[in-house]
Amino acid sequence: MYKIAIIGGDGTGPEVIAEAVKVLKATEGKFGLEFKFTEFEYNGDRYLKEGKTLSDEEMEGLKKYDAILLGAIGHTDIKPGILERGILLKLRFGLDQYINLRPVKLYENVETPVKNKKPEDIDYVVVRENTGGLYSGFGGISMKNTPDEVAAQSMIYSRHQVERCIRFAFEYARKRNLTKPWRGLTKDELDKGYKGKLTLCGKTNVLTYVFDLWERTLHEVAREYPEIKPDYVHVDAMCIYMIECPEKFDVVVTGNMFGDIITDLAAVTQGGMGVAPGGNINPEGVGMFEPIGGTAPAFTGKNQINPMAAIGAAQMMLNHIGETDAAASIDKSMTEVFKKMKSMAAAQMGFSTTEIGDMVRDNL
Ligand code: IPM
Ligand code: MN
């Protein structure tokens, strides 16, 4: 039996997570699984009522679970940063979920704004470092509200943080279906849908300390994974390639801030926030799976938001805990349901939130 903690969060978070739970429950009978779901009210409403974000004890309590499913955190009446740092980042850091895994996969019939790209062209994974870099919170302000005010926030990375992230990315790349040995292939062959490549996305031309550390670590660790081709792109060029030739990518590894930015762009290429899931992973601890989009306050309570990203997050969760058959079944069912949807945008899907959940459940 798997103990799953549910944090619906704010806005449309609870609605989309309800659909993910619906689909998970349906896998129980079909795959002989058993889930025990426990809900937690860690969200903006509680903060407004009790002034509490997430205590250390509450965070510790979550270590007893096999996984966490999270909807979305954020509240229009609360200053940006309070809930993000107090709940979401506190969980990621406190549970040492040092990987943020974001698959970028265009499903059939899902419209992409990128011209002439097909599902086989947009199929890669971003491994975003999830606990360090600019998110470390290292910095400060002095002489606030004077003409001499100074503010700093630093991109900090230790060798340990970089290496464990890169190692995870190599292991992950190894588990994808490798096309064929890369040595001897032409640049063109390696850029056209080749699988078996790990691309570091950095900025070695300007951030000459931090990304030097990343690049050296990449090449050192690469010696242990001779079947994977190490590759490098600058983050600004990455934004060009993600649109012009996304088929160039297989597994991409990057720091926290760049990863945050490029995965929003990536989500748009795969059909938008309504379809993009992510996983916050601690390979030795508890993982937390979430749709990468926000709280969508304009759609809260309307039964119009797309739950596919949340269902995809549940699918990733099953893969992570080793229930790969059930995960594959959800993926297949999602593939079928995408074919029936009119759009991935909220209120334009041709179905309600709960209807989409029902369809994925019934197609398992
Ligand atoms: C994400 C989000 C978070 C982040 C915010 C809400 C703190 O944008 O999961 O990508 O920056 O990591
Ligand atoms: Mn983000």
Q: Are residues 209 and 311 in the same domain?
A: no
The pairing of beta strand 139-142 with beta strand 229-234: unpaired
Q: Are residues 246 and 146 in the same domain?
A: yes
Q: Are residues 89 and 132 in the same domain?
A: no
Q: Where are the beta strands (DSSP E) in the chain?
A: 2-9, 35-39, 67-72, 99-105, 123-129, 139-142, 150-153, 197-202, 229-234, 251-254, 277-281, 287-291
Identify whether 297 is part of a domain.
Answer: yes
- Ligand 1 centroid to Cα of residue 345, in Å, is 20
End-of-domain residue from the set 243, 270, 297: 270
Q: What confidence score (pLDDT) does residue 111 get?
A: 97
Identify whether 312 is part of a domain.
Answer: yes
The residue whose C-alpha atom lies closest to atom 5 belonging to ligand 1 is 84
DSSP string for 235-273: HHHHHHHHHH-GGG-SEEEE-HHHHHHHHHHHHHHTT-T
Taking alpha carbons only, the member of 309, 287, 248, 14 closest to residue 130 is 287
Does the CB atom of residue 292 touch ligand 1 within 6 A?
yes
Identify whether 42 is part of a domain.
Answer: yes
Q: Which atom of ligand 1 is nearest to the CA of 260?
A: 10
Identify whether 281 is part of a domain.
Answer: no
Q: What confidence score (pLDDT) does residue 179 get?
A: 82
Token digits of residue 147? 């003409």
Does the CB atom of residue 260 touch ligand 1 within 6 A?
yes
The residue whose C-alpha atom lies closest to atom 11 belonging to ligand 1 is 260
What is the residue range of 210's domain?
Answer: 112-270
Identify whether 232 is part of a domain.
Answer: yes
Q: What confidence score (pLDDT) does residue 71 get?
A: 98
Q: Are residues 87 and 144 in the same domain?
A: no
Q: Are residues 9 and 37 in the same domain?
A: yes
Q: Which H/E stretch holds residue 212?
A: helix 210-222
Q: Are residues 208 and 145 in the same domain?
A: yes
CATH number at 307 reads 3.40.718.10
Q: What is the pLDDT along the chain (364 residues), one digit of tens a residue?
A: 999 999 999 999 999 999 999 999 999 999 999 999 999 999 999 999 999 999 999 999 999 999 999 999 999 999 999 999 999 999 999 999 999 999 999 999 999 999 999 999 999 999 999 999 999 999 999 999 999 999 999 999 999 999 999 999 999 999 987 888 999 999 999 999 999 999 999 999 999 999 999 999 999 999 999 999 999 999 999 999 999 999 999 999 999 999 999 999 999 999 999 999 999 999 999 999 999 989 999 999 999 999 999 999 999 999 999 999 999 999 999 999 999 999 999 999 999 999 999 999 999 9
Q: Are residues 258 and 119 in the same domain?
A: yes
The residue whose C-alpha atom lies closest to atom 8 belonging to ligand 1 is 260
- Ligand 2 centroid to Cα of residue 259, in Å, is 8
Does the CB atom of residue 91 touch ligand 1 within 6 A?
no
Cα distance between residue 110 and residue 248, in whole Å: 20
Phi and psi dihedrals of 110, rounded to 5? -90, 125
Identify whether 313 is part of a domain.
Answer: yes
Total domain count, the chain: 2
Identify whether 204 is part of a domain.
Answer: yes
Identify whether 32 is part of a domain.
Answer: yes
End-of-domain residue from the set 270, 301, 336: 270
Q: What confidence score (pLDDT) does residue 178 get?
A: 81
Q: What confidence score (pLDDT) does residue 27 get?
A: 97
